[in-house]
């Protein structure tokens, strides 16, 4: 596990060149909430950005990251895998989360 100290927004923007992975685990960017925005101008080549928000599928954070050439991932796979683990816990059934299922859910959002 990699830990990062608390950073205010300005320090986060100033430090983005040090990161190769950014994960938004907040509700920022969710439909009806304020956008989560970063300045990607000093990013590392190959930066990956994950936003656990799934509505909208592409938040402003992901749109901005994608426009700068970052690899992006929305929150649908996490949503589905959490559901699968709940099914395992409560029903002793572990559904397989395939790319087809992820695409199906994304098409419905």
* 13, 38 contact by CB (below 8 A): yes
pLDDT at 2: 63
User: Side-chain half-sphere of 24: how many Cα atoms within 13 Å?
Assistant: 26
Domain residue ranges in the chain: 1-74, 76-109
| Burial class of 74 by CB neighbour count within 10 A (0 to 12, 13 to 18, 19+) | buried
Q: What is the pLDDT at residue 69?
A: 94
The CATH number fitting domain 1-74, selected from 1.10.1370.40, 3.30.1330.120, 3.40.50.720, 3.40.50.2300: 3.40.50.720
pLDDT band (50, 70, 90) for residue 58: very high
> Over the stretch 3-37, which tens digit does the pLDDT of each residue have?
767 777 778 888 888 889 999 999 999 999 999 88
């Amino acid at each position: 596990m990699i830990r990062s100290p608390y950073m205010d927004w300005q320090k986060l923007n100033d430090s983005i060149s040090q990161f190769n992975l950014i994960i938004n685990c907040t509700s920022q960017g969710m439909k009806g909430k304020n956008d989560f925005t970063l300045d990607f101008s000093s990013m590392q080549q190959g930066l990956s950005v994950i936003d656990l928000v799934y509505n909208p599928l592409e938040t402003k954070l992901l749109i901005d990251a994608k426009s700068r050439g970052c690899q992006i991932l929305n929150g649908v796979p996490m949503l589905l895998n959490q559901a699968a683990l709940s099914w395992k816990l409560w029903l002793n059934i572990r559904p397989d989360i395939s790319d087809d299922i992820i695409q199906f859910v994304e098409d419905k959002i």
